[in-house]
Structure 1
Amino acid sequence: MNERDFIAMLRPLAGPGALNLNDDAALLSAPVGHDLVLSVDTMVEGVHFPKGRIGGDFSERLLRTALSDLAAKGARPIGYMLAVAWPSGRYDKWAAAFISGLHDAQRSFDCPLLGGDTTATKGPLVASANVYGVVPTGEMVTRSGAKTGDHVWYTGVLGRAETGLKVVMGDPDVRLLSGEDRLACEEAYLRPEPRFLFRKTLRQVATACADISDGLYSEAGHIAEASGVHLAMDYIRHADFGDDYELLLTAPPSAEAAIRSGADAIGLPVTRCGHVVPGEGISIDGEPVQGKGYRHTF
């Protein structure tokens, strides 16, 4: 298989702006009254995903995690571009499975392929998804808007992705879980759910938001730094493990009913987990801490 073969396999995934993947560019414009929101995520085999599992699970997880950044901005996805450094000598069946995973993910979120780049490598698989979304003009939710007096919330259930990684790796610690629980945790790790269904509520009430990719306390630290405030957090289990891809948000106390109503309407659990005060950094149960989370080192 060569580069042209791979592009031909990708062509059925292409959206209108991709120009049938015949040009080294795509054509894209935001609808009138909307801003364009862009983000990028990269995954490396053996770092973000177990070695040797480079098929549909890898690609679906790649696109879903990238799209989670758009969900945290209150945006709606409209397309993505893909860059892949494909390991030499891997069988064509892996490429077919990789593309099948992309197909499943982009169909779930109406987010077609717009273009990208491919190359070969002697190392592990490296893939990047550049995602594009739109949000009504001026309504994007940033990390920098948290205000003193706000409450802090997170969506969903933390810890499932942590257990899901153990399931994927065959860790014996998970043998006591029921089959249903193992499946739910594996799905949380392999196929995280970007919280797009919550975006209208998010845009209406949130003063700041980040997706929980590197751990809840780590993301709390990002919001605190960007907003110039202190986040006084409760103790939360699994808060230092990333990969949950839930939302951490701040909102005024008056927004509690709207948050709970918006979450209930889509069956999404929400938990109030702290409040915003003057100062900087974060604390847990009153003790100042560093939100460690996951950090790549170079």
Structure 2
Amino acid sequence: MARRGRIGEFELIARYFAPLARTFKGAGNLQSDNAFLAADPRHDLVVKTDTVVAGVHFLADESPQRVAAKALRVCLSDLAAGGAMPFVYQLSLALPARWTEKWLAGFAKGLAADQRRYAIVLCGGDTVVTPGPLTVTITAFGRVARGKGIGRGGARAGDELWVSGTVGDGALGLLAAKGRLPELTPRQRAFLDDRYRLPQPRTALGHHLVGIATAMADVSDGLLADAGHIADASRLAVTVERDDVPLSAAGRAAVTADPRLWANVLGGGDDYELVLAVPPRKRSALLGAARAAGIAVTRIGRFTDGSGVTLTAAGRAAAAPRKGYVHF
């Protein structure tokens, strides 16, 4: 809940920053995480900036290689949600006063590994020392066919809601990393822990969804929240059927042992899966794209006229005690 006298993140953006971007069409009124810039006659650049902070977005004692991977991958996830292929990125690194060269070498090693994995390269940035916690900001650039980038605002009533992979592993993984899922086996906890620490951006799938998805986002704030962002930007309502939400074996074991963890699954975020709107006539094309990418997709709901997010279970309205992560 926002503190008394303060506004939430999205109200803050809409009130103070969206007016500053109003004259630039590619900003999309700041309703999507990405900006779209004309690059050449055949391509647009999809641009995303993200910041991760020690103790907020990753554990304070995380290895430098994994800090680097998470910082880069959360940006790559947004590029995938824009239908783009990775191109280049810039890095702004705010190091705490007691930084060491050993830590920095490990961080650079982590970036190098992911540069090879995701075919992206560093093109600039900045480094400073801070009296606060370690802070990493990355601006990633992707390429998409001219005018074909996917935002949040294109869904239409009747479109189906789909999601890639499995949902809830990130939020449950944070609990596992903190030793708070004792009912799971060590192997299950290790799986969830890894899903939290090392996101898997769906770059192999996102660019195949151009011409198929009418709107798309990545699941960073939480499934209900990010489906809601698409609905809000598209001026629609969306219904999510809880029983259709895909869970990993470890995630299923967790909610079976403690059904209260559904709140974390649906609202915890950090999954970095793709949530998308697809017209029913494009269903076969979506399934073909998913097979080609080797990534499962699941239909979990539908967009309709109206507003807001409705959660159902077995077809009946269900309470959603936690809709998503909020920064303020």
TM-score range, shorter chain: 0.7 to 0.9
2:131 is aligned to: 122
Q: Does residue 1:246 correspond to 2:287, yes or no?
A: no
1:140-179 matched pairs, under 5 angstroms: 140-169=149-178, 171=179, 173-174=181-182, 176-179=184-187
Structure 2 equivalent of residue 9 of structure 1: none
1:29-44 equivalences in 2 (<5 Å)? 30=39, 32-44=41-53
Tell me how far 1:178 sits from its aligned partner: 4.5
Q: Is the 8 A contact 1:36 1:132 kept in 2?
A: yes
Residue of structure 2 equivalent to 1:259: 286
TM-score by length of 1: 0.84
Confirm or deny that 1:112 pairs with 2:121: yes
> Does residue 1:231 correspond to 2:238, yes or no?
yes
Shift of 1:105: 1.4
2:91 is the alignment partner of 1:64 = no
Q: Tell me, yes or no, if the aligned pair for 1:41 and 1:65 is still in contact at 8 Å.
A: yes
Tell me if structure 2 keeps the 8 A contact 1:146–1:223: yes
Asked if structure 2 preserves the Cα contact closer than 8 Å seen for 1:45 and 1:124, the reply is yes
Superposed displacement of residue 221, structure 1: 1.2
Structure 1 residues 33 and 288 mapped into 2: Cα distance closer, same or farther (>3 Å)? farther
The separation in 2 between residues aligned to 1:172 and 1:279, in whole angstroms, is 39
Aligned residue for 1:13? none
Counterpart check, 1:86 vs 2:86: no
Residue 48 of structure 1 pairs with residue 57 of structure 2: yes
Q: Secondary structure at the match of 1:186?
A: helix
**Structure 1 stretches lacking a partner, 5+ long:** 1-28
Q: Report 1:276-287 matches (<5 A).
A: 276-285=303-312, 286=317
Distance across 1 between alignment mates of 2:63 and 2:194: 16
CA 1:172–1:232: 2 relative to 1, 3 Å: closer
Residue in 2 aligned with 1:296? 327
Aligned Cα root-mean-square deviation (Å)? 2.1
CA distance in 1, matches of 2:294, 2:158: 27
- Shift of residue 290 of structure 1? 8.7
Deviation at 1:187, TM superposition (A): 2.8
The TM-score normalised by the length of structure 2 is 0.77
The structure 1 residue matched to 2:199, chosen from 182, 192, 202, is: 192
1:160-204 per-position Cα deviation (integer Å, ceiling 9, x unaligned)? 2223223433x052573243x344323322221111111343112
CA deviation string 1:52-87 (max 9, x = no partner): 325111111110011100000000111100001100
Rounded to whole Å, the distance in 2 between the matches of 1:289 and 1:163 is 17
What does the per-residue CA deviation read over 1:244-265, in whole Å, with 9 as the maximum and x for residues that have no partner? 0000000111111121222123
- Overall identity of the aligned pairs, in %: 39
* SS at 1:279 equivalent: coil
Is 1:274 matched up with 2:274? no
SS in 2 for 1:239: helix
Distance in 1 (alpha carbons) for counterparts of 2:86 and 2:233 = 25
Point out the more displaced range, 67-76 or 88-97: 88-97
Q: What secondary structure sits across from 1:176 in the alignment?
A: coil
Letter paired with 1:110: A
Cα offsets for 1:125-154 (capped at 9, x unmatched): 011000001100011011000101110000
* Unpaired segments ≥5 residues, structure 2: 1-37, 246-261
User: 2:319, 2:176 → 1: CA distance?
Assistant: 34
Give the paired residue count.
Answer: 268
Report if aligned partners of 1:282, 1:288 keep a CA contact under 8 Å in 2.
no
* CA deviation map 1:21-65 (0-9, x unaligned): xxxxxxxx9454000110001001011111132511111111001
**Aligned position for 1:18:** none
> Deviations 1:206-230 (Å, cap 9, x if unpaired)?
0100000000100011111100111
Q: In the alignment, what sits opposite 2:254?
A: none
Conserved? CA contact 1:85–1:127, under 8 Å:
yes
Alpha-carbon spacing, 1:40–1:290, altered in 2? closer, same or farther (3 Å): farther
Asked if structure 1 preserves the Cα contact closer than 8 Å seen for 2:58 and 2:197, the reply is no
Distance 1:239 1:172 in 2: 18
